[in-house]
């Protein structure tokens, strides 16, 4: 889908590891993976190398530092994608995050620190919840394409939006207004509420 590719390629998260990446990041990753079977080791090193490359590039981007969370969320979604689509175990991804966070703490001026966004149970979230969060974080891009692009792109965008609508409809809507569940804020509840607000706002603007 061209629309999805526009978002996904924004930071080239999954580009192949090149010679420069190998020289800069592979030694760090090679000493910080869990050595079990060979396939697992190679897989961990490649993902770790890409993760450090992405965090390095994010750190060097010319954006206000109070917007770092946006890059962190995109990198988080990339890791979620790797885990779900490529059937990489949660334990491997979690280990890579834990080890990369150690590297980042040792070299805190080299990489964007996303540890507060990533090292939690978010990777265990339901796919529907993650999809709603991706949509919410790209609402401005979505609206711009729907309002300004040519007919073929609009159709593409609508095809892209449909799974998010389906996800929203399949999610429970009986959350409390303050989204507090068990004494803490439920992130899925927040995603559902924000999606509803964004979608209803867009529909009202088009009337």
Cα separation of the two ends of the chain: 27
What is the residue range of 192's domain?
127-206
C-alpha distances out from residue 125 to 22, 101, 148, 154, Å: 32, 21, 34, 30
14 and 100 assigned to the same domain = yes
pLDDT, one tens digit per residue, over 41-79 is 788 888 888 988 988 888 887 766 677 777 887 788 788
162 and 118 assigned to the same domain = no
Task: Say if CB 170 and CB 128 are below 8 A apart.
Answer: yes
Total domain count, the chain: 2
187 and 131 assigned to the same domain = yes
Higher pLDDT residue, 5 or 143? 143
For the chain, strand residue ranges (E) read 180-181, 184-185
- Asked whether the predicted pLDDT for residue 3 surpasses 80, the reply is no
Among 124, 143, 169, which residue terminates a domain? 124
Among 70, 102, 124, which residue terminates a domain? 124
pLDDT > 70 fraction of the chain, expressed in percent and rounded: 70
Which pLDDT value is given to residue 115? Answer: 75
158 and 172 assigned to the same domain = yes
Among 86, 106, 124, which residue terminates a domain? 124
pTM, whole model, 2 decimals?
0.66
Give which of 152, 136, 154 is closest to 194, Cα–Cα: 136
100 and 188 assigned to the same domain = no
179 and 89 assigned to the same domain = no
In this prediction, residue 1 has a pLDDT band, given cuts at 50, 70 and 90, of: very low
Task: Provide the CA 184 distance to its chain's centre, in angstroms.
Answer: 23
């Amino acid at each position: 889908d061209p629309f999805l590719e526009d978002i996904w390629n924004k930071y080239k998260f999954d580009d192949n590891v090149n010679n420069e990446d190998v020289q800069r990041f592979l030694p760090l990753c090679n000493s910080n993976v869990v050595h079990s079977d060979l396939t697992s080791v190679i897989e961990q090193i490649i993902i770790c190398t890409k993760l450090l490359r992405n965090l390095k590039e994010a750190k060097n981007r010319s954006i206000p530092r109070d917007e770092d969370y946006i890059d962190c969320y995109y990198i988080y979604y990339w890791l979620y994608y790797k885990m779900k689509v490529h059937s990489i175990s949660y334990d491997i991804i979690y280990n890579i995050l834990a080890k990369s966070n150690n590297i980042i703490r040792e070299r805190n001026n080299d990489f964007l620190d996303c540890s507060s966004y990533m090292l939690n149970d978010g990777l265990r979230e339901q796919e529907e919840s993650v999809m709603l969060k991706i949509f919410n974080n790209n609402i401005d891009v979505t609206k711009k394409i729907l309002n300004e692009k040519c007919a073929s792109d609009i159709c593409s965008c609508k095809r892209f939006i449909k799974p998010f609508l389906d996800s929203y409809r399949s999610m429970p809507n009986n959350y409390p207004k303050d989204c507090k569940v068990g004494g803490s804020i439920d992130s899925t509840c927040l995603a559902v509420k924000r999606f509803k607000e964004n979608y209803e706002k867009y529909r009202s603007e088009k009337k």
